[in-house]
Amino acid sequence: MVLQLENFGLDTSSPSVVYMDVNVVPEHDGEALLASTISALQAEVKELLAKQIFLDAKRREALNRILDIKGSIRVFCRVKLRNEKKALPISIEADKITVRPLGTCKDCIVDRVFPPESTQDDVFQEVRPILRSALDGHNVCVLAYGQTGTGKTHTMEGRNGQQGIVPRAIEELFHQISQDKSAKFRLSMSMLEVYMGSLRDLFVHRPYSSARSTYLIPKSNLSILSGADGTIEIEGLMDVPMSDAKQAYRWYARGKHARSTSWTHVNDASSRSHWSVTWLLCVCSLTRITICRLSNDTAKGAVEQVSKLWLVDLGGSERLLKTGAKGQTLDEGRSINLSLSALGDVIAALRMKRNHIPYRNSKVTQILSDSLGDGSKVLMIVHISASEEDIGETICSLTFAKRVRAVDSSRELSEESKKRKEQCINELEQQIQESEDELKKVRSQIEKTERLIREKTKLHQVPSDMNNGSPRSTLILDVEEEKPIQRSQTRAAPGFMSSTECSRQRQKLAVSTTKWRSMSASTRKPLDFLGPQTLSFSSLPKKRNMACKPSDHLNMSQNSIDSRGSTASRAKKVSNSNPNLMVALHKHRRRMSALL
């Protein structure tokens, strides 16, 4: 008798080689054994999935607590240095900037200072945790503020091969999504600019005018809508589904191009050089990534959460005075100043927890109103120049930073409180690390167990002609290599290995899935938004006896759609049967198979 079933059960940590002498084990016993093993493995997957959800919730909570301790509105300061030989009028510490204009001394405390030698990566490391928070369902805003030429666009977009926050964030989001098996995600992207007080969609196609040798700018007609629950939507703004980072980069490049061509157009149209500078300053560009998170809560069932990640390059109008703008141009410059000041007012009111938050004072604050307040995470990067000649504008920017940040007097903590805070953050970070390590183990265990289930399920489906004529057939299942090896071929396949009605239905379902996949993009539009492995079983044509519970739609395993529905229904059938019934059922199936 060749029967080696130690690894037939739940322990999947070591490579499993299973020997089954189907001649010795009576057919119905073998079949019953196989069915109960599959059932036990499925129960284990279910348990592991529940553990995965629990660990993920623990990780999310710890991250949220860290961000709350650090402050849900944080202000950083990035310093730009021109090639100067003179002594600098500012001094830089880890969280403090001191400016000395004309013998006086002004300082400003922020959450962190990025000195001139800081890299794009240094800045991104501070942004990374709040991206995770956006995936966890929180609205997030990253805002770049500062005088023109101090590096806002450098920080947000990046230049000369040094990627900025937006492209890095796109990559990071898709990376995190690929790692996160506890939920499914749909991402979409929009880009717009606030230009002279109106909103312009940067994804809208702009026709080229050969007469003017430039791209035409369609009239802006976007309006801001506010829902009863305070959510904000921009009517008519293109929101493009993103299935991978490459696609997102392409659209982002398109939006950036549209922005720069609009400036060129303005320059060409105005033909007044000082106007072009001012108009350029009036542009505030916003990139919105909408994240739809679909998770399966054991208590609540399927849960869908939508969050927004705003990446904003705010316009600066400081040059207005330098360019000597007059009349309408000066008014426009003032308008952007008012917008920035309105943003400062809103953040200050939020910090002071005022009842009335003056969102309606500018377009930018209206757009961001559901992403600056309750539960949101805001990160403001104030850019300053360390040069003597920019000292006036540097002081203005630092005053803004102070206003945004220092209103919360509790932020200026004693050394002891700072230490306690740091210790608490370290402990929470440790918790996150532990949860992530455990999550990795659980995911790998799920993968192994599911692989085993697939192998066991295949045993039900071995075609009869593979085993014809053997007096004794021993199957060796090398789980590591994921393929059953046939040691002896000369025996008729046991009844349970011939296809049953159930397996035939499963095969039909697989065919219909393939057909579905080859359907035109327009026909399967809702699912096109989903990333890899995010097909929903609910969207498949319904098959008789293959009904799937709502919870099955969000099966968080890596299984393909083909096996998801079938294992779900199989698990239900097996677990609901008592052993005698099960044997009878399999006998019945065999008889039915012989008849068909």
Ligand X SMILES: Nc1ncnc2c1ncn2[C@@H]1O[C@H](COP(=O)(O)OP(=O)(O)OP(=O)(O)O)[C@@H](O)[C@H]1O
Enumerate binding residues for ligand X (CB under 6 A): 80, 146, 148-154, 159, 316, 383
Instruction: Name the nearest CA neighbour of 28 among 583, 471, 593, 591.
Output: 583
Count helices and strands in the chain by DSSP H and E runs: 16, 22
Taking a C-beta distance cutoff of 8 angstroms, is the pair 589, 500 a contact?
yes
Instruction: Record the tokens describing residue 103, joined without a space.
Output: 């013998």
Closest separation between CB of residue 327 and ligand X, Å? 22
Taking a C-beta distance cutoff of 8 angstroms, is the pair 350, 357 a contact?
yes
Annotated ligand binding at 261? The verdict is no
Annotated ligand binding at 147? The verdict is yes
Taking a C-beta distance cutoff of 8 angstroms, is the pair 76, 398 a contact?
no
Cβ closest to ligand X, residue 7 vs residue 163: 163
Cβ closest to ligand X, residue 154 vs residue 590: 154
Closest separation between CB of residue 157 and ligand X, Å? 8
Instruction: Name the nearest CA neighbour of 408 among 101, 75, 162.
Output: 75
Beta bridge partners of 114: 78
Cβ closest to ligand X, residue 56 vs residue 313: 313
Cβ closest to ligand X, residue 41 vs residue 169: 169
CB neighbours of residue 160 within 10 Å: 5
DSSP state letter for 88: P
Closest separation between CB of residue 509 and ligand X, Å? 54
What 3-state class would DSSP assign to 303?
Answer: strand
Cβ closest to ligand X, residue 146 vs residue 494: 146
Q: Which helix (H) or strand (E) holds 501?
A: helix 501-517
Rounded Cα distance between 564 and 101, Å, is 68
Annotated ligand binding at 152? The verdict is yes
Instruction: Record the tokens describing residue 46, joined without a space.
Output: 């279910």
Q: What does each C-alpha distance from 313 to 151, 273, 281, 583 come to in angstroms? A: 10, 23, 11, 68
Annotated ligand binding at 219? The verdict is no
Rounded Cα distance between 386 and 89, Å, is 7
Contacts with 302 (C-beta within 8 Å, 6 or more apart), sequence order:
294, 295, 296, 550, 551, 553, 554
HEC secondary structure over 153-192: HHHHCEECCEECHHHHHHHHHHHHHHHCCCEEEEEEEEEE
Closest separation between CB of residue 222 and ligand X, Å? 22
Rounded Cα distance between 410 and 408, Å, is 5
Residues in the chain: 596
Closest separation between CB of residue 109 and ligand X, Å? 22
Cβ closest to ligand X, residue 52 vs residue 150: 150
Closest separation between CB of residue 281 and ligand X, Å? 6
Q: What does each C-alpha distance from 426 to 65, 69, 121, 212, 471 come to in angstroms? A: 12, 11, 22, 60, 66
Cβ closest to ligand X, residue 148 vs residue 276: 148
Q: What is the sign, positive or negative, of the torsion defined by CA atoms of 411, 413, 418, 420?
A: negative
Cβ closest to ligand X, residue 150 vs residue 470: 150
Annotated ligand binding at 449? The verdict is no
Closest separation between CB of residue 148 and ligand X, Å? 4
Residue nearest to ligand X (CB): 151
Cβ closest to ligand X, residue 278 vs residue 365: 278
Closest separation between CB of residue 234 and ligand X, Å? 22
| Residue listed under structure tokens 């049967």 | 577
Q: Which helix (H) or strand (E) holds 322?
A: helix 319-323
Closest separation between CB of residue 336 and ligand X, Å? 11
Rounded Cα distance between 217 and 315, Å, is 19
Cβ closest to ligand X, residue 80 vs residue 363: 80
Determine if residue 325 is left, alpha or beta; phi over 0 gives left, psi from -120 to 50 gives alpha, anything else beta.
Answer: beta
Closest separation between CB of residue 150 and ligand X, Å? 5
Cβ closest to ligand X, residue 64 vs residue 387: 387
Rounded Cα distance between 400 and 53, Å, is 42
Cβ closest to ligand X, residue 22 vs residue 401: 401
Closest separation between CB of residue 563 and ligand X, Å? 50
Taking a C-beta distance cutoff of 8 angstroms, is the pair 254, 203 a contact?
yes
DSSP state letter for 487: S
Closest separation between CB of residue 318 and ligand X, Å? 9
Annotated ligand binding at 161? The verdict is no
- At 555, which amino acid appears? N
Instruction: Name the nearest CA neighbour of 494 among 84, 23, 7.
Output: 23
Residues of each annotated binding site? 146-153
Residues of each annotated binding site for ATP? 146-153
